[in-house]
Structure 1
């Protein structure tokens, strides 16, 4: 978007010469870049841990205690996998502190909630129990070795239950209520089984339960109703909101739409951008600078999924807000780039105005023990190297109630101030525990609130509706960044508007399914936001929500159905461009210049490539239209540099053969490297696959009869890399098959063949491109020969070959192997020509445009007047002037 910067860079490049060459295709790194890359290389090449981590070996870090696979399995595994010296040292330090009993102290914390009672441990009596109808039925737990009256009371107190009961020595039961008059009292002599954890104390008997009070007090939740803004008393000051946007990724235009939807001159927007996201921070800093009530947080954290930094970051945001004395706010509302309002903000203002004393959080429900286990709260985690490492078990503090649920909250100012300034033992202790907690935002705010003087202000509502599809969102898709399996919601897509509207309670008589009906009748849940929305997945649903809230855009609005999302800019420093991406982007630019000179036939349009500036995904009506590659090229005659942008369009090479049920069920086959199991789609829409890639073959099936098919993947030398049979059930769904072969893969055109009853029903050709760049620079001849020869031996070393005979109809294997070998020896200009030839079998150059300067080439428009360029008009995603009457953006 920084068009002026790019034009200025092109002017600078007019005089750039490297090693005496007049037409370089890359730019020399600055000293700072080289230094940064050397450091990164050192980190990535750090040797992994050996079998034992102690002082007997020369190590890259110095643990203060012995850590072996036998005495600390989780910690040992984390040390083996961590890459940086600093992270290894942090893990070792925490493990040793934990072993010394110095990490989590004290083991019991005070509870300051005024709703609690003072009769903890009061013996209610011994009563007859039954397996069919438990007296205390909310929670049950067996403690074969550590059960005692105190242990059970503290366990039930942790869950917020008023009553605890011990039975048969090892059993512990909890409940919110106990109807004593209806229970059958027994003599205490029948509750005579010694406790498994302290045999001097009795823990009930056979079908006889000893019941005690925990002192937890009753669960006090508030369920306020929606407020009509017009009914607010005129003399009642309206609540002022600060929307805290915690952003990640590169979805700039989606963020702009969110800001526009939230904006009002009387309220505030504070933006935290993940420390790794330079592009988003840089662009938003420029765009929001003209608004006094929008600020960027000056310090930034790497906010990985489930990371401990998420809570630290929000606390620092609160701290920063209190330093802005001119901002007079009443509520702190956190949102992400994938949230969107589904009610007018005026209704949220009215709702919070009438409920100033409440804090809005969503509790998990009643089974706290299950929540604790599911969240991994009884495990110690540490964040480093952008990963959450599990390093062992821990015991949670006694004396307090644990609570948790959604990490989306609306907290009032008084509670935020308490979170920052209180030095009481409860909150200081929780800070230490939650420093080493997975998903801390899903339990920290709740637990502090339930055990503080603010416990009665718990509004059990996170103000959100979330699109949970558990069978898709709970597939452990975060294994790369966390040692735990969590769940993530799905995106709303076109067709989901009814689901949102039902939760809105706007349609009273429409037909709805049972699940939505149950959710609709939750206790007075009022919602203002929905998630997740990702315009790169589906933008139509965002347009539908906007139209519902504020009216439809005129049909002739430029870019109304278009969406652009940046994937690379030349200013990126922390996120390095991979070698295969650099290869493709340079190939695209060279092909675009070749297209330009051949199409125009004008000598003035002959140019050579200097460098790549930006790459952008372009979608229209939620269909991938191509990649936009912006690059700098030098005119051969005038030696003037220009910034151009080209549209590269992908041509899938899928063939279906014959007829029948199997062919009719197969909707599509795609190959890529980043398959989203939740959304059942590839996120790397350009299909950039290289010799070191691990790729996925995805087959999309419509509903129909159950069948078995055989999948074969064949390389350019007609080597069958793998073959296997899979069963296709009768549902409509996607089947992703991960191909984690021995690498390097042999470059060239690969083939996926699908067989049913040994007949080929479909085949897809896809490209594994050779490298033109390696290590961030043009590849050397020796590197090319080494990397393009294919693997040593089979692609799947440990898997027996699945023999499918001659049914695959392979081309001449000898000839194919000979051609592949000859291609693997290519270098220099020959290599580039081979890459270009392969690439443009799958890609075509659609259009070109010029940035900032008119080219003397027929038919080349300025980019900002096209309908496809990343510089094309896009009013729906642009911040405008503020309407003086409404206070909102025009």
Structure 2
């Protein structure tokens, strides 16, 4: 039935498809994600699981906002999403535009400008957030007031992600999934659609894309070589240092790899941070000297933990940014994505997505059921303008 629906959708012209109603778009996303949940019967997933051993041995923000925690309500109510939106120097306006494209009062948001020298821009970002009436009303957007250097291919990037999830857990422990978004990401669905689609899914699922089942101990050199990330202790981002010496591959656990972009459950993030099992901490020490640890650390913790190995969906819910909007829908269906990346600054595709997919007015929020009035000509709470994107 779902394949027939996809064929029917493919036969529509593009202008008709981009005007799908909220309910139809959400139903499509639910069908796609539901298809992914059949992973327990998938031969490739069983092969992956067969390779896993049975066992193994203060928030400083620039603005203080009183939090209003939404009630999780009944089991059938929508989930609460925690978004970590990060960027580097000169990307604060892009971060604000992305925030408005994914904003929903039910969620939690943490904005993080990853640059040791960007104090002025960080303050400007905090002021912009504080000036938005909607953010003030719901109090669910926070800006990290201090930052540090991050080398994207080093352990400092992994440290930043763990720090962000720890902050979100401290701000509010009620959320269900942790989303990582960079300033070059952009949504392909509204938050109403995404929340609707995720409502019927188990809240312990972890969406992590894998490139292979396990790392070949004899051929994979990225884990044999030793690297040092100076950005862990220096103010300015510094390239990695590569040691001449090598080391043996670990023997007490299998290493897994995949996409550095993922959607992780709150229970799993608490497992990594609070660590009732010592394995995430031991693994963190090992990955302090590994190239691109974000492409492997969480994958390895998941697959070597009996409590979480059966919660994996082999899909990161991302796709490559479309060249133009006219072929975006086909990419979305084929890749089962709800976010696309990376978009360059000023990409006109973003304006097309705002107009034809998200129904987002310039400088405004994406309209949703949470608005006082969704009419285009009304002065609703999500259609106000501001000085930033």
| 1:389 matched to 2:236 | no
- Name the residue aligned to 1:285: 126
Equivalent residue for 1:317, pick from 150, 160, 164: 164
Is the 2:103–2:365 contact (alpha carbons within 8 Å) kept by the matching residues of 1?
no
Provide the secondary structure at the position in 1 that maps to 2:226.
Answer: strand
Task: Give the 3-state SS of the residue equivalent to 1:239 in structure 2.
Answer: coil
Q: Distance in 1 between matches of 2:270 and 2:309?
A: 15
Q: Distance in 2 between matches of 1:428 and 1:304?
A: 21
How many Å apart are 1:400 and its aligned residue?
1.4
User: Given that residues 301 and 309 in structure 1 are in contact (C-alpha distance below 8 angstroms), is that contact kept between their aligned partners in structure 2?
Assistant: no
Instruction: Please show how residues 32-111 of structure 1 align to structure 2 within 5 Å.
Output: none
Pick from 261, 265, 273 the counterpart of residue 113 of structure 2. 273
8 A contact 1:254–1:877 mirrored in 2:
no
Which residue of the partner structure matches residue 357 of structure 1? 204
Shift of 1:378: 1.8
Q: Which runs of 5+ in 2 are unaligned?
A: 1-43, 56-72, 375-379, 384-389
In the superposition, relative to structure 1, how do residues 253 and 243 fare at CA in structure 2: closer, same or farther (>3 Å)? same
The TM-score, its normalising length taken from structure 1, stands at: 0.31
Query: How far, CA to CA, are the matches of 1:161 and 1:263 in structure 2?
Result: 36
1:461 correspondence with 2:315:
yes
Distance 1:390 1:269 in 2: 36
- Taking the TM superposition and a 5 Å limit, the aligned residue runs for 1:477-488 are none
Correspondence 1:883 to 2:376: no
Task: Give the structure 1 partner of residue 353 of structure 2.
Answer: 545
TM-score scaled by length of structure 2: 0.69
SS of aligned partner of 2:78: coil
Where does residue 504 of structure 1 map in the other structure? 332
Residues 372 and 502 of structure 1: CA distance in aligned 2, closer, same or farther (over 3 Å): farther
CA contact (8 A) 1:271 1:295 kept: yes
**Which residue of structure 2 aligns with residue 419 of structure 1?**
272
Structure 1 residues 550 and 428, CA, compared in 2 at 3 Å: closer, same or farther? closer
The reply on whether 1:440 has 2:293 as its aligned counterpart is yes
Which string of whole-angstrom CA distances, capped at 9 and with x for unpartnered residues, describes residues 363-388 of structure 1? 113463299727x1221111115121
**Which has the larger helix fraction?**
2
SS at structure 1 position matched to 2:310: helix
Shift of 1:526: 2.4
- Are the structure 2 counterparts of residues 370 and 350 from structure 1 closer, same or farther at C-alpha, using a change threshold of 3 Å? farther
How far residue 425 of structure 1 moved from its aligned partner, in angstroms, is 3.8
Deviation of residue 258 (structure 1)?
Answer: 0.7
- In structure 1, C-alpha distance between the alignment counterparts of 2:146 and 2:249, rounded to whole Å: 31
Q: Cα–Cα, structure 1 residues 247 and 380, in superposed 2: closer, same or farther, change >3 Å?
A: same
The structure-2 alpha-carbon separation of the partners of 1:448 and 1:234, relative to structure 1 and needing over 3 Å to count, comes to: closer
* Corresponding residue SS for 1:408: strand
Counterparts of 2:327 and 2:217 in 1: how far apart (Å)?
A: 29
Q: Is the 8 A contact 2:207 2:317 kept in 1?
A: yes
* Distance in 2 of aligned mates of 1:889 and 1:382: 46
Alignment of 1:845-864 (within 5 A): none
Deviations, residues 366-424 of structure 1 (Å, cap 9, x unaligned): 463299727x1221111115121111322232121211211111111111111111153
Alignment deviations for residues 808-836 of structure 1 (CA, whole Å, 9 cap, x no partner):
xxxxxxxxxxxxxxxxxxxxxxxxxxxxx
The question of whether the paired residues in 2 share the 8 Å contact of 1:256 and 1:878 is answered with no
**2:151 alignment partner in structure 1:** 304
Distance in 1 of aligned mates of 2:128 and 2:105: 16
SS at 1:369's partner residue?
A: coil
CA distance in 2, matches of 1:371, 1:241: 40
Change (3 A) 1:298 1:283: closer
Unaligned stretches of 5+ residues in structure 1:
1-137, 139-158, 163-175, 177-213, 218-232, 468-491, 506-519, 554-875
Instruction: Supply the distance in 1 between the matched residues of 2:95 and 2:122 (Cα, whole angstroms).
Output: 11
Pairs aligned (count)? 298
Is the Cα–Cα contact under 8 Å of residues 101 and 365 in structure 2 kept in the other structure? no
Q: Which one has more relative contact order, counting CA pairs under 8 Å at least 6 apart?
A: 2
Residues 372 and 417 of structure 1, relative CA distance in 2, 3 Å threshold: farther
Secondary structure, counterpart of 2:249 in structure 1: coil
Asked which structure has the greater CA Rg, the reply is 1
Q: Is the 8 A contact 1:254 1:535 kept in 2?
A: yes
Contact 2:87–2:112 (8 Å) recurs in 1 = yes
- Give distance in 1, aligned partners of 2:75 and 2:283: 40
Distance 2:140 2:372 in 1: 15
Structure 1 residue 450, shift from structure 2 partner: 0.6
Q: Distance in 2 between matches of 1:549 and 1:246?
A: 24
**Which residue number corresponds to residue 20 of structure 2?**
none
Q: What is the SS of the residue equivalent to 1:287?
A: helix
Query: Greater share of strand residues, 1 or 2?
Result: 1
> Deviation at 1:254?
2.3
SS at match of 1:883: coil
